Amino acid sequence: MIQITVERQKLTEAIINVTIEGHAEAADPGEDVVCSAVSAISFCLFNAIEEILHVSLELESFEEEGGYLSFSMPIITDATLMDQVQLLLAAMVSSLRQIAEAYSDYVRITVN
């Protein structure tokens, strides 16, 4: 099962951390479309934030330990840039939530 945890800052509700752990195990390795979808959404949005907005997120990723990806927001003082990053992160969470709803036996999402 893939467990996705989204942490929001209490005062502003800004997304400050996303952690994705585990594997869906919906099919054999290399054929698991659920795992592939979660990975593609996560890495595409992570890369978009870095390449388009030039914001470096703090990243930890360990495939050999059962699948683990975690990224955290740096401190951003530019309000417009922060809004842009938050929009992309919200799009990612929305897409991951849709995957979790469609494949609830394989993916769970928790927003704190």
Which CATH number covers residue 35?
3.30.70.1490
Residues belonging to the active site: 23, 35
- Among 15-19, 54-58, 62-66, the range scoring the smallest mean pLDDT is 62-66
Confidence of residue 27 (pLDDT cuts 50, 70, 90): confident
pLDDT digits (tens, 9 = 90+) for 38-63: 999 999 999 999 999 999 998 888 76
**Domain count for the chain:** 1
Element (H, E) at 68: strand 68-72
R_g of the chain, CA atoms, integer Å = 14
Q: Which domain holds residue 21?
A: 2-111
What pTM was estimated for this model as a whole?
A: 0.90
The token pair that represents 7 in the structure block: 């942490």
Handedness of CA 18, 24, 30, 31 (dihedral sign): negative
Where would I find the H helices in the chain? 33-53, 79-102
- The per-residue b/e assignment along 24-54, b for 16 or more CB within 10 angstroms, e otherwise, is bebeeeeebebbebbbebbeebbeebeeeee
